Structure 1
Amino acid sequence: MDSLKSLSMTQAALSWVSKTGAFVPTPSTIRNSISKDPKSQFPAESGRYHLYISYACPWASRCLAFLKLKGLQKAISYTVVKPIFERTKETDQHFGWVFPSSSTEEAGAEPDHLNGAKSVRELYELGSSNYSGRYSVPVLWDKKLKIIVNNESSEIIRMLNTEFNEMAENADMDLYPSHLRARIDDVNEWVFDAINYGVYKCGFAIKQGPYDEAVTKLYNSLDKCEEIFAKQRYICGNELTEADVRLFVTLIRFDEVYSVHFKCNKKLLREYPNLFNYTKDIYQIPGISSTVNMEHIKKHYYGSHPSVNPHGIIPIGSNTNYFAPHDRDRFNN
């Protein structure tokens, strides 16, 4: 990696670090909603919306997981970016998500046939002349109005769960059911802070204190999950919910990336019997495995964070078989 590119990508990563050396994420800012109400500004219509995602990004991957679980592939199209950050414009030093120039350039990624954009940054600039936030994925795009509807994954998955049921193949699947919402919200809160973002707090900490605090909270929460899964199949009981999808996207990346790249090495996922079997269980749900591209995941993390991995070397990894048998269906008896 050339020194200028390395410096620019390092500066991008360090922009999320506070003066105390702790990782502080930047919130999403485009927060419009799609509604089943045909009179709304963004009505749920088959063929109108498009998702831009990265297989590498856990936040984008959970949107793709909902798309597959609900059976919305015919109603909502999607495009996958390349895994490693590249320069998004020749006029400045910004590096971010880009599209391949052809369908054969990067396996699993494809050009932006919808808008002809070269990068996700261009999508934001197409959709808004005064946008000043991060050029992140996922992007939920309105083909009709040619603007971004929403770039907050936690809100996108809720829309996919309920607003497109008239065109969903699995309309009866409710991943945020009313009788479990309080429990789901509670689980989401501590999983998000300690696990989903906890691994990032470990990986991007630039001082020992913030790392120690984050890694302690991370493993306390993983231990808590291990205890929960000793008693029930899913995180909120014996019913699959959005909380499981949100937890899964971090767990599936844990041994291959976070344990090495983000210094989360106190204990591997596969050393937790219940957590490991739980991850295999979720992975084997129809549609979920197609949202996991470990090649993209490893290329992105090890190749896009020179402040953490300056030479971009990708470790060989464990090549874990997540299709191996698990024992989680015992809770259905």
Structure 2
Amino acid sequence: MSNDGSGSAGKGADGNTSYGHKPFVRSRGHFADRITADGRDGWPVEAGRYRLVVSRACPWASRALVSRRLLGLEHALSLAIADPVQDDRSWRFTLDEDGRDPVLGIRLLSEAYDARERDYPGGVSVPAIVDVPSGRLVTNDYQRITLDLATEWSALHREGAPDLYPEPLREEIDEVMEGIYRDVNNGVYRAGFASGQNEYETAYADVFRRLDLVSERLTDRRYLVGDSITEADIRLFTTLVRFDAVYHGHFKCNRSKLSEDPVLWAYARDLYQTPGFGDTVDFDHIKKHYYRVHTGINPTGIVPLGPGLSGWRAPHQREELGGRPFGDGTAPGPVPQGEEVPARGRP
């Protein structure tokens, strides 16, 4: 995420978006190699070979954090967490001792990008997966990474891992995700970085039209598709969990708060309280990033103290709708030591 909150930073350009006098457009990740079971792109699935680089502030990176936890891939895919406030060069590893990632040995994520391709046309985005032996970036394809974690990495899943992308439901999941991506995940950015009133109002209308449809869909079902958590729920959650803290005010998506929609608020709390979701969310990082980095929207850099977070722990009663969070599987184990969200980032 650079000043546009895309997940990108540095190199004087944003690899995932364009904005200014033109409508906000998000492009695909520049590096779209896939890590697969058969290694057909030259990157075979291999425990311990790769490192996932994220910012806990970024909703696109948060998808990968949730998937990795639910699937139990912590032992196979190590984790690097960047400072939520990056500079013009890149995402920084200033949270680590001596300001270096302890595994990759680099100070800036851009170093892994440069090891792959110098002077490429874009910014430095998260999530990113880096090949540890070579120090080279493998992929920053935020749309594909989690789908591959759910399917191509299955041999390394924990025992009892849920099926987040079940084959019989993929067509429906894809359809639901497409609308959510266009109008909600990306829609809040189209509103927040609109360069004109009409552009903003169109995006604003799309956001709330889709949220109303999703709320209606979830009135009598616990999850978006089927009776257990899928990739669709992960993608919706990472926007909903940021909605009241940043999108409602910072991005002017202020028709109503998430907490004012009884269905969506209960649904979001249900997921937040499910192991693998809330234990990856750092509200401190989220607010610091959006309010301090987006100087075009918030030139003072003041980070608001609210909203209060205690409601995220309130009962939701969604279990009354039935459903099994992990399908035929089980909940993930405790958060690995060293990956816990600090107390200041939790309710």
Is the Cα contact below 8 Å between 1:238 and 1:331 reproduced in 2?
no
The question of whether the paired residues in 2 share the 8 Å contact of 1:69 and 1:170 is answered with no
Query: CA-to-partner distance for each residue in 1:109-149, whole Å, 9 max, x for gaps?
Result: x7312222222222211222342222101111112343222
1:41–1:212 Cα change, 3 Å: same
SS of corresponding position for 2:124: coil
Deviation at 1:272, TM superposition (A): 0.4
Aligned: 1:178 with 2:167? yes
Matches within 5 A, 1:221-260: 221-260=210-249
Partner of 2:148: 159
Partner of 1:212: 201
Partner of 1:143: 132
Letter in 1 for 2:51: H
Amino acid at match of 2:320: R
User: Residue 84 of structure 2: SS of its match in structure 1?
Assistant: coil
Cα offset, 1:37, TM superposition: 2.2
SS for the counterpart of 2:130 is strand
Partner of 1:17: 19
Q: C-alpha distance in 1, partners of 2:29/2:40?
A: 26
Matches within 5 A, 1:302-313: 302-313=291-302
Matches within 5 A, 1:78-97: 78-88=79-89, 96-97=90-91
Tell me the equivalent position of 2:192: 203
Equivalent position of 2:253 in the other structure:
264
- Rounded to whole Å, the distance in 1 between the matches of 2:301 and 2:127 is 24
Q: Is residue 2:318 matched to residue 1:328?
A: yes
Whole-angstrom CA distance in 1 between matches of 2:247 and 2:161: 35
CA gap of 1:12–1:131, structure 2 versus 1, over 3 A, is closer
The 8 Å contact of residues 165 and 171 in structure 1, kept in 2 or not, is answered as no
TM-score normalised over the length of structure 1: 0.88
Given the alignment of the two structures, is residue 49 of structure 1 paired with residue 50 of structure 2, yes or no? yes
Question: Which of residues 179, 200, 204 is equivalent to 1:190?
Answer: 179
Answer whether contact 1:62 1:249 (CA < 8 A) is retained.
yes
After TM superposition, the score normalised by the length of structure 2 is 0.84
Structure 1 counterpart SS, 2:18: coil
Whether the 8 Å contact between 2:70 and 2:161 is mirrored in structure 1 is no
Cα distance, 1:19 vs. partner?
3.7
Alpha-carbon contact 2:191-2:252 (below 8 Å) kept: yes
Q: Distance in 1 between matches of 2:100 and 2:269?
A: 32
Q: CA deviation at 1:32?
A: 1.0
CA contact (8 A) 1:18 1:24 kept: no
Alignment partners' CA distance in 2, 1:300 and 1:18: 20
Partner of 1:92: none
- Which residue does 1:100 correspond to in 2? 94
1:319 aligns with 2:308: yes
The 1-side partners of 2:308 and 2:111 are apart by 35
Change in Cα spacing, 1:305 to 1:40, as seen in structure 2 (3 Å) is closer
CA distance in structure 2 between the aligned counterparts of 1:297 and 1:170, rounded to whole angstroms? 32
How much does 1:324 deviate? 1.5
**Structure 2 match to 1:4:** none
Q: 2:240 corresponds to which letter in structure 1?
A: L
Change (3 A) 1:222 1:101: closer
Identity of aligned residues (%): 38
Deviations 1:225-246 (A, max 9, x none): 1111112111123221100000
Tell me the CA shift for residue 259 of structure 1.
Answer: 0.5
- Whole-angstrom distance in 2 between the partners of 1:242 and 1:147: 27
Cα distance between partner residues in 2 of 1:193 and 1:102: 35
- SS, match of residue 249 in structure 2: helix
Residue deviations 1:28-64 (CA, integer Å, cap 9, x gap): 1111111222676211111011100000000011001
SS, match of residue 75 in structure 1: coil
Alignment-derived partner of residue 67 in structure 1: 68
Structure with the largest fraction of helix: 1
Q: Indicate which of 260, 274, 283 corresponds to 1:294.
A: 283
Stretches of 4+ aligned residues off by more than 4 angstroms? none
Residue of structure 2 equivalent to 1:281:
270
